Amino acid sequence: MAASPSSARLDHTFLELPLHRLADTALSRAYDLGADHADFRLERVRSQHLSARDGALQGSQEDADLGFAVRVLVDGVWGFAATTDISRDAAITTAEAAVRAAQVSAPMCSTRVSLAPEPAYPDVTWVSAYAVDPFEISLSDKSALVCDWTSRLLAGAGVEHAAASVELVHENKFYADLSGTRITQQRIRLEPHIEAFGSYGDLFDSMVALVPAAGRGWEYLSDNDLVDSELDRLPHLLADKLRAPSVAAGSYDLVIDPTNLWLTIHESIGHATELDRALGYEANYAGTSFATPNHLGTLVYGSPLMNVTGDRTVDHGLASVGYDDEGVEAQSWDIVKNGIFVGYQLDRSMATSRSNGCAYADSPGHFPIQRMANVSLQPDPHGPDTDGLIAQVERGLYIVGDKSWSIDMQRYNFQFTGQRAYLIRDGELEGQVRDFAYQSTTTDFWGSMSAVGGPQTYVLGGAFNCGKAQPGQVAAVSHGCPSALFRDVRVLNTAAEGGAS
């Protein structure tokens, strides 16, 4: 049995479900009907959302999604069916429906699917790295903490309103296929949001705490110095932002904090290097990619300082797993090496030799699709701290925290804003400026990266809401990165661009 990165145990109520019996029944029936490949995936996904405003609980909601799916290949054509009926008869009829779907689809399919090989993993388990399952904490205790965050913010000078929320997910999966693989997994993840609101003259704005979503347990929120620090700082940061001058548009050197840069990585690297997108499979919904297969191994994606990995193994990563939803063991690999585009994110149907484990379905009722790994920019092992990067700038901006963004259908032309930006003059911070956005193309932006911070600046950010596919699916993903310095990047004044007087 495989070792887990956590001392937590698999939920006994999930293990009490007839996992192996249902899998054996469904897979045997699919095989008897002629399936060349068949896999069975039973999931239970529990989620809870709590929100508070100005010291009072606004609401709480808890959902559970339980069911199983059978996926087959019959003569190279996919078939899929799913049900919420956890019974032996349903296992048989669902397998039959999946095979029928493949048979009906066959005349309409001009190409046939083949799966990259993967070893079998009999009877393995994996549990994500956390200490306290948030679903074992009482609702009253969780509500009290979220309400307390807003009460503490509201006590700050100039804060007119305060809001906070937390999203909690407990995900169990059992996977089995005809090769003999049997995998049981459990993941915990949570996403906090803490925001202070205020006004000054005609301006109304907010400031969001920089506490990233993470694959962690309740201990991350109940005993976190970062949360306390952000609660203390937000009122002062908001007051400064409301009184800050509007930025002068022009060309600036940018020192970008990892709390902002993770989202630029997500949009301009993470999505751009999904092979299904590069081949056009996402064109109907969320675009394609400029990083097409003819560029693999030759495209200069960025400066020689740029080293980006895909990783499904890192502790606390939102996209970290032991095995993906096709039974592929989690891996880490290069996407950009010394500035050159060298690797895609793959599932078994896209890989030519071996998948790097990027198949994921967000519910038992959805077909697994190629989803993003934890895509991360690596720090310079001997790089400076953030102050050292700022010291290299004569005229620039230091940008902190993510906010709005926009990128074209090929993941090439983009602009990003942030929670706050500080003017840099002669290597020193001079205070916040407002109404800023940085704009570039993907290769120009990453090509302008002239210095990368050291490991001491590295932060693992991320979010729960990465959308893809039709029908739409949502996945959580993390992106780690250090602070980094970019030269001569175009900065817009968003108020002027929007026609504000």
β-bridge mates for residue 433, sequence order:
421
| Closest C-alpha to 374, from 468, 273, 297 | 273
Please tell me the predicted confidence (pLDDT) of residue 175.
98
- The answer to whether 436 and 491 have CB atoms below 8 angstroms apart is yes
Please tell me the predicted confidence (pLDDT) of residue 5.
52
Strand pairing category for 395-407 and 250-256: parallel
| Closest C-alpha to 488, from 410, 427, 397 | 397
CA distances to 21, 38, 489 from 441, rounded to whole Å, are 53, 43, 10
DSSP assignment of 453-476, as one string?
--GGG-EEEEEEEEEETTTTEEEE
- CB count in 10 Å sphere of residue 123: 12
Give the gyration radius of the chain's Cα atoms.
24
* Rounded Cα distance, 271 and 265, in Å: 9
DSSP assignment of 84-140, as one string?
S--SHHHHHHHHHHHHHHHHHHGGG-SS---PPP----TTEEEE-S-SS-GGGS-HH
> What token pair was written down for 167?
């999203």
- The answer to whether 265 and 376 have CB atoms below 8 angstroms apart is yes
- CB count in 10 Å sphere of residue 9: 12
> What token pair was written down for 89?
């008869």
Please tell me the predicted confidence (pLDDT) of residue 1.
39
pLDDT along the chain (501 residues), means of 10: 58 97 98 98 98 97 97 97 98 98 95 96 97 97 97 97 98 98 98 98 96 97 93 97 97 98 98 96 90 98 98 98 98 98 97 96 96 98 98 98 96 98 98 98 98 98 94 96 98 88 53
Please tell me the predicted confidence (pLDDT) of residue 286.
80
Q: How many residues does the chain have?
A: 501
Domains within the chain, CATH numbers bracketed: 12-243 (3.30.2290.10), 250-497 (no CATH)
> Per the omega criterion (within 30 degrees of 0), is the bond before 471 cis?
yes
* DSSP 8-state symbol, 362: S
- The answer to whether 342 and 356 have CB atoms below 8 angstroms apart is no
Please tell me the predicted confidence (pLDDT) of residue 501.
53
* Alpha helices, H only, 113-224: 139-154, 219-222
For the purposes of burial, counting CB atoms within 10 Å of the CB of 122, is it exposed (0-12), middle (13-18) or buried (19 or more)?
exposed
CA distance between the termini of the chain: 66
Q: What contacts 464, CB < 8 A, 6 or more positions away?
A: 167, 169, 189, 191, 213, 318, 474, 476
pLDDT, tens digit, 9 for 90 and up, residues 91-139 = 999 999 999 999 999 999 989 999 999 999 999 999 999 999 999 999 9
